[in-house]
Structure 1
Amino acid sequence: MDACRTRALRKAISPSALRKAVAAAALVCCAALAAGCSDPGTPAGQDTAAATRAAAPLAAGDLQSRFQKVIKDVLPSVVQIQASQDLGSGVVYDGAGDIVTNAHVVGSEKTFKVTTASSEEPLSAHLVYSYPEQDLAVIKLDRVPTGLKPAVLGDSEKVQVGQIVLAMGSPLGLSSSVTQGIVSATGRTVSEGRTDGGTGATIANMVQTSAAINPGNSGGALVDLDGQVIGIPTLAAADPGLGSAVPGIGFAIPASMVRTVAEQIVQHGKVVESGRAALGITARTVVDDSYQPAGVAVVTVRSGDAADKAGLRPGDIITRLGDRPITTITSLSEALAVDKPGRRTSVTYLRDGTEKTVEVTLGEQ
């Protein structure tokens, strides 16, 4: 009765009626409490906040359980790869012992030691094919151990900014390590350096993540909470001033490209269709009178390729591809990386100081 603060009756009632009123009021009060009704003197939202706090441990527990399930399901598909000098990670591609990793992990070597989740001792493996242009490679175990578990590659088109992801690999040689973050962005075009161990590749449609990517994570797995690999962690952003990695900015090659390249290597022993646009030239960056990058000078033109058919020749300085300005080799690579072979576009260039524009049908790298 006190909890519901019933008002005093204005007229006398019989004892039996009073008992019925008390019982009814008690039922109403209990129903109100069950429905979350609060004391009129209680500040609005206080009970709601209490309910939220009570539910929070359950929600956190559910998320933790999901993390642990994904790790239990996927981590056995992530391996450590040891070359003679370098250490990296890989993802089991199929039950035949094929493992996909980064080209910069395998480098120029042909044989490797691989530690799987089910092997006590490192297993020997050999290179099937390396494709530096996309920084991907496939190696194969010489003996397939019992219980080898292939990873499930997800659909890159369904990756959304803000979704929670886990990065799995062997950072700094610490095998079976897991870090957590979100997808920070999609569709990034990133150029790797050569001096920091990369292949110099320009890669389109990369997934940006806040999950920590450290040396040794390369070639591992970026995994969503459905237990699907949505990308292969490849590099972390570097501070141009300090030359060191920037925490919380890492990039992964999307699963769709991983699947395309790996499947060709497994089936054909090499990449037969790169899907990467090319002009068919070798070139170098040129600078202006202020020593600022001003274009890309054509050094050689491959006979029969796109540039040759369009009439470009050595000495021409490319300044624009389509509507994108070209000032360096990197900017040209990035422009081509987001294009497709067979697409028709324009090339603006300087020849003997005169600007010209020509139509070109892009070839394949």
Structure 2
Amino acid sequence: MAGKKQLNTKPWCPFCGMDVGRPVEALQRKMTEFPVGRCECGAVYACDATGHNIGSAIVECLVYACGEEWDLAWELLPEDDYLTGRVEDYDDVTHQICPKRNLDGRGVRGVLYFVRLHKDVAEIADRFAKKKEHEAQTALAESEKGPAGFVIPEVEPARDPKRQKKRSSKMIVKKLVEANDIEGLLDLCFDDKRALRFMQRLLYEPEPNKRYKTAWLIGQVSARLSTREPAPVADMLHRLFESCSDSASMPWGMVEAIGAIVAARPDIYGAFARHLLNFMGDEGTQEAALWGLSEVAATRPDLIRKTPFYSTFHFLEDENPVVRGLMARLLGRVKAKEALFQIMSLQKDETEITLYEQGDPVKTTVAALVKEAVAGIQG
């Protein structure tokens, strides 16, 4: 009827008609961050609060439906493998549909994008999810046997809300970094999130010893901060990737920091690991990318195995001995039996190189890393 008032309503699933809950941030953080949810009928949905990033929201929703299995998601065809739907005029602040597209003078342009997999595809995705859960449990069990496994950090104690909060500055953060004061940096990050930005600025350093030390400290602080506040760390990862993509500046320390953060909390930020491969095409970032990938592989080799890492095998023949050594280390840590003979061809390469362990420079040789890799693959 003309002139009839349009009432705001709760959002619903376009497949079953049931009301759906408010989308929430996924536990595992990714390059594209959209809140997601799941309907009782099996459909999943992602929220684009602006309505301008619907393409990215569609991709995230489909990948989420596939249990974060990107390879499976890319193979699926709309209609043949899954159905889609969308609910527009969604306000993510109040979690309701506003047909007038305006609420208290505020524009409402949000979209909920839905995906429901066909039964046979859903069963495949479920098997992937169960396999991933089993791999995670295995990795956690292995962590109890020694340092080569990942252990989820204990939740940081809550800070006293009545305490006088500290304010960060570039000089304060620089002094704490130079003193390797992880506790001080962590307290500062809880009080003032700008501390993360100041730490990021310290990465722009031509001296590799300082870069790697700062990157490692960022990883350690982020690991503990994320036990209570994972979002600021995810925001920092996005800024680091953006800085790496800026052709007008050198990405000094940025790639190293990404690797350090992901390696410190692969359970939350593991999806970022695959993007480190994008930096293998630039000679200026190859060493940092390989270092980051091998750091992740030290505790979660399964994450690297899920990337197209096999496209990097040719770096075993690279002119740069550091790249050759790091490549051997990476393949050893993921137990790449398919590259064993290529790795063994470097057994007599006694070129001395410097790598970084916990931010400190360590001298070794390509042959020593090859020996370690072969032992890891055959052991």
TM class by shorter chain equals: under 0.3
Relative to the length of structure 1, the TM-score reads 0.25
Q: Which has the higher strand share?
A: 1
Rg larger for: 1
